[in-house]
């Protein structure tokens, strides 16, 4: 309840009186005679609120950077393809996403495309450190090239490899050179999808005839490439072809 003064003029005099009357209808909340209460807020408080908001921005940016670095270091990382060794599954300058966490829980499997730190003997230039190839054989597998139809055999089963380089032609063998090797324990036999242009296990075996030197350690694998995301026109999941499921486990003998 507030007091409101109203002016009136006496009928017998020219003097104007301004008695105060009580106006019970004027609300005591909301606005005060049409002036919003917000206008009475201290300007210093508004400035403090704005300053506090701006101070949070560097903190939020710092948290975002730390999270991004942790994700890149331990979960997912992007890699680009520098050569044609995986054509035409992956072309030069394609970008892939690599799952770096999956092999903390299991070992690489046949048919998966993996990124690994290459052995020094595999490199032709100092900058060639991270390689990308497909796993053909795991520890204990007997890998042979080739059967009567030019197919690689793993533990006696011929592989159906629909991803092989189209440039080699439909009648070309799965490898231009024969080999017969048993993969050592805790190592992987890896090959590029472009069998005629790939520095991989086949090439190293032809040069050294050493099963260890021609394979990579499981511990050198950085992660599994699971999706081609750039260019978007060719975006695709890097799935394992179904033919690999038919390969039996290596025999003890």
Residues known to be catalytic = 85, 133
State the Cα angle at 188 between 182 and 193, rounded to 5°. 105
Burial classification of residue 7, based on how many CB atoms lie within 10 Å of its CB (0-12 exposed, 13-18 middle, 19 or more buried): exposed
Rounded to the nearest 5°, which phi and psi values hold at 52? -60, -40
Strand bridging mode 221-230 / 95-99: antiparallel
How far apart are alpha carbons 253 and 156 in whole angstroms?
13
How far apart are alpha carbons 13 and 45 in whole angstroms?
52
Tokens of 169: 């032609």
How far apart are alpha carbons 35 and 41 in whole angstroms?
12
């Amino acid at each position: 309840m507030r007091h409101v003064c109203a002016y009136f003029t006496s009928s017998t005099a020219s003097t104007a009186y301004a008695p105060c009357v009580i106006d019970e209808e004027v609300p005591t909340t909301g606005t005060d005679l049409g002036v919003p209460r917000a206008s009475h807020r201290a300007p210093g408080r508004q400035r403090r609120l704005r300053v506090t908001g701006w101070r949070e921005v560097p903190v939020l940016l710092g948290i975002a950077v730390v999270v991004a670095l942790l994700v890149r270091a331990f979960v997912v990382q992007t890699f680009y393809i520098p050569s044609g060794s995986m054509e035409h599954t992956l072309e030069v300058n394609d970008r892939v996403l690599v799952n770096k966490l999956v092999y903390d829980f299991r070992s690489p499997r046949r048919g998966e495309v993996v990124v690994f730190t290459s052995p020094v003997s595999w490199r032709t230039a100092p900058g060639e450190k991270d390689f990308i190839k497909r796993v053909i054989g795991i520890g204990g597998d007997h890998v042979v090239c080739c059967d009567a139809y030019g197919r690689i055999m793993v533990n006696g089963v011929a592989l159906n490899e629909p991803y092989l380089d189209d440039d080699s032609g439909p009648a070309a063998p799965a490898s231009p050179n024969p080999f017969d090797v048993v993969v050592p324990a805790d190592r992987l036999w890896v090959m590029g999808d472009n069998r005629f242009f790939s520095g991989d296990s086949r090439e190293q075996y032809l040069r050294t005839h050493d099963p260890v030197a021609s394979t990579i350690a499981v511990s050198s694998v950085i992660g599994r490439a699971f999706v081609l995301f750039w260019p978007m026109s060719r975006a695709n999941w890097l799935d394992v072809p179904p033919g690999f499921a038919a390969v039996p486990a290596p025999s003890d003998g």
